[in-house]
Amino acid sequence: MKDMRHLMQQAKQMQEKMKQAQDEIQSIQVEGESGAGIVRVSMNGRHNVSKVTIDPELRSEDTELLEDLVVAAFNDAVQKIEAETKEKMGNVTGGMHIPPGLNF
């Protein structure tokens, strides 16, 4: 019985740490870029884009190139968010894999 209480207490602590990490992740701000910084996308931990910056010289260039650079910058920002999320959650779980749907 004592072991079960201890286990439940540990689960509760982990749940609290997970919640804290999730809150921190949502407040993360990253900047993805492409074309050596010609296009920049600012994104938060919820994957919401807050700003897109395009070098004025590129605006007169090929539209298809511009579209490709925006997509690349967006994908760069998403990868940065995912990397930070994985790091923060790994710190909480000690590298243990938490299956999707297991609601901590």
Condensed to tens digits (0 to 9), the pLDDT of residues 78-90 reads 999 999 988 888 8
How far is it, in rounded angstroms, from Cα 28 to Cα 48? Answer: 11
Amino acid letter, 62: D
How many domains does the chain divide into?
1
pLDDT value at position 42? 95
When the pLDDT of each residue in the chain is averaged and rounded to a whole number, the result is 84
How far is it, in rounded angstroms, from Cα 46 to Cα 19? Answer: 14
Read off the CATH number of the domain in which 51 is found: 3.30.1310.10
Is 94 domain-assigned? no
Is 100 domain-assigned? no
CA distances from 18 to 11, 63, 67, 75 (A): 10, 43, 37, 26
Total residues found in the chain within this entry = 104
What's the predicted TM-score (pTM) here?
0.66
pLDDT value at position 100? 54
How far is it, in rounded angstroms, from Cα 83 to Cα 19? Answer: 18
